């Protein structure tokens, strides 16, 4: 039997059925795809909406994609020491949240770990030879969220600092699309980008959007399936099976520990986080994944985070549910 995690403040509006017509849109973004399901009130014109969403996401790529040589983030990364970059409002908001979680996690989440991302073959250049200890030391010297100075809407390049926002940008994209849909009159919708989700409103029958927490391929959740009711909530999941590289027959997770410079190997197979905003759920999956089962759970409990952890205990998977997550289970 499935377990269902529901919002603790389900609004009365979720019990009202309304006459709406279904709509769905999709397109490419950030190396993955974006998908929207919605119920549109009569009178809302749908024809231009896909292009509007695509344009919004393209603008985020132009600001924060390391794969675009002329993006704002790419220009910052190659700027000489002592240079300042004026941030667009979206970029500024992402950096605000990234640095917030970097500070609270004491660097487990670090938006300045771009050199490490490149070194392990997860950047635009693709696979690289296995890094040596000297390579790691040099890359780590170019990291450090606490080296990143800000002055209002400007950001300072101290020299060699290389940003990478892959652990937070998709979540922010989900939030931006969700807000845009509400503004366009589609208040009942589900947005997904690369597996990160946010649901708003309800379906015409009054039921919330439901999303399953994913298990690693070939495995199942130890306590049975879990579905999350995304009524004004977001769900992000990060697993060691989602993206990886192979070096000499050894598989390395895409989750890198900025404190050691190496991929995590702490037994965590996946982390799922439920939060109001997908930008936070996305970043928190990375932070908890780096911290590991014990410290990650303690961090989540300390900050009242609804998190679900799958741990490889050597002879199978076990699960850890934080109190905030357990409180949501119906």
Same fold, 3-7+19-61+187-326 and 63-157: no
Give the model's pLDDT for residue 141: 92
Where does 63-157 sit in CATH, by number? Answer: 1.10.3980.10
Tell me the C-alpha distance between 154 and 255, whole Å. Answer: 29
Number of residues assigned to the chain: 330
pLDDT top residue among 4 and 248: 4
Taking only the tens place, the pLDDT of each residue in 203-213 is 988 899 999 99
Question: By C-alpha distance, which of 253, 244, 241, 228 is closest to 325?
Answer: 228
Phi first, then psi: give them for residue 177, nearest 5 degrees: -65, -40
Give yes or no for residue 126 having a pLDDT over 90. Answer: no
Least confident of 4-13, 60-69, 163-172: 4-13
Taking only the tens place, the pLDDT of each residue in 258-299 is 999 999 888 899 999 999 999 999 999 999 999 999 999 999
Q: How many CB atoms lie within 10 A of CB 92?
A: 16
pLDDT top residue among 216 and 258: 258
**For residue 59, what are the contacts with CB-CB under 8 A and spacing of at least 6?**
90
Tell me the C-alpha distance between 325 and 181, whole Å. Answer: 28
Domain boundaries, the chain: 3-7+19-61+187-326, 63-157
Q: Record the tokens describing residue 305, joined without a space.
A: 């985070």
List, in sequence order, every residue forming a beta bridge with 275; answer none if it has no partner. Answer: 234
Give the model's pLDDT for residue 239: 84
**For residue 67, what are the contacts with CB-CB under 8 A and spacing of at least 6?**
31, 61, 124
| Mean pLDDT, all residues of the chain | 91
Taking only the tens place, the pLDDT of each residue in 9-25 is 665 554 444 557 999 99
Topology classification of domain 3-7+19-61+187-326: T-fold (3.10.520)
Give the model's pLDDT for residue 143: 95
CB 94 within 8 A of CB 166: no
Give the model's pLDDT for residue 14: 46
pTM of the model: 0.92
Give the model's pLDDT for residue 242: 57
Give the model's pLDDT for residue 19: 58
pLDDT top residue among 152 and 28: 28
Phi first, then psi: give them for residue 129, nearest 5 degrees: -60, 160
List, in sequence order, every residue forming a beta bridge with 319; answer none if it has no partner. Answer: 310
Rounded mean pLDDT, 118-138 = 88
CB 168 within 8 A of CB 283: yes
Tell me the C-alpha distance between 187 and 185, whole Å. Answer: 6
Q: Record the tokens describing residue 234, joined without a space.
A: 């977001």
Terminal alpha carbon distance of the chain:
12
pLDDT top residue among 217 and 241: 217
Query: By percentage, how much of the chain surpasses pLDDT 90?
Result: 78
Under the banding of pLDDT at 50, 70 and 90, the label for residue 240 is confident
Q: What is the enclosing helix (H) or strand (E) of 306?
A: strand 306-312
Give the model's pLDDT for residue 17: 47
Tell me the C-alpha distance between 168 and 186, whole Å. Answer: 25
């Amino acid at each position: 039997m499935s377990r269902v995690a529901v919002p603790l403040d389900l609004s009365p509006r979720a019990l009202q059925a309304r006459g709406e017509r279904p709509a769905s849109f999709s397109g490419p973004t950030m190396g993955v795809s974006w998908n929207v399901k919605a119920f549109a009130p009569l009178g809302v014109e749908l024809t231009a909406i896909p292009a509007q969403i695509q344009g919004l996401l393209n603008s985020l790529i132009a600001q924060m994609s390391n794969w675009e040589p002329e993006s704002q983030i790419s220009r910052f990364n190659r700027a000489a020491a002592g240079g300042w970059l004026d941030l667009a409002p979206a970029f500024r908001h992402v950096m605000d949240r990234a640095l917030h979680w970097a500070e609270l996690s004491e660097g487990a989440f670090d938006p300045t770990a771009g050199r490490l991302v490149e070194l392990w073959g997860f950047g635009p250049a693709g696979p690289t030879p296995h890094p040596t200890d000297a390579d790691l030391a040099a890359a780590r010297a170019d990291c450090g969220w606490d080296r990143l100075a800000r002055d209002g809407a400007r950001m300072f390049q101290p020299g060699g600092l290389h940003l990478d926002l892959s652990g937070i940008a998709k979540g922010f994209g989900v939030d931006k699309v969700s807000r845009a849909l509400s503004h366009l009159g589609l208040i009942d919708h589900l947005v997904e980008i690369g597996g990160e989700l946010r649901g708003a409103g309800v379906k015409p029958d009054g039921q919330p959007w439901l999303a399953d927490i994913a298990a690693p391929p070939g495995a199942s959740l130890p306590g049975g399936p879990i579905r999350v009711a995304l009524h004004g909530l977001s769900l992000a999941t990060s697993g060691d099976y989602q993206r990886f590289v192979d070096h000499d027959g050894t598989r390395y997770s895409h989750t890198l520990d900025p404190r050691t410079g190496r991929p995590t190997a702490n037994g965590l197979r996946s982390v799922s986080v439920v939060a109001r905003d997908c930008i936070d759920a996305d970043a928190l999956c990375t932070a908890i994944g780096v911290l590991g089962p014990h410290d990650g759970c303690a961090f989540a409990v300390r900050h009242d985070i609804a998190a679900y952890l799958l741990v490889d205990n050597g002879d199978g998977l076990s699960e850890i549910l934080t109190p905030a997550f357990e409180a949501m289970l119906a």
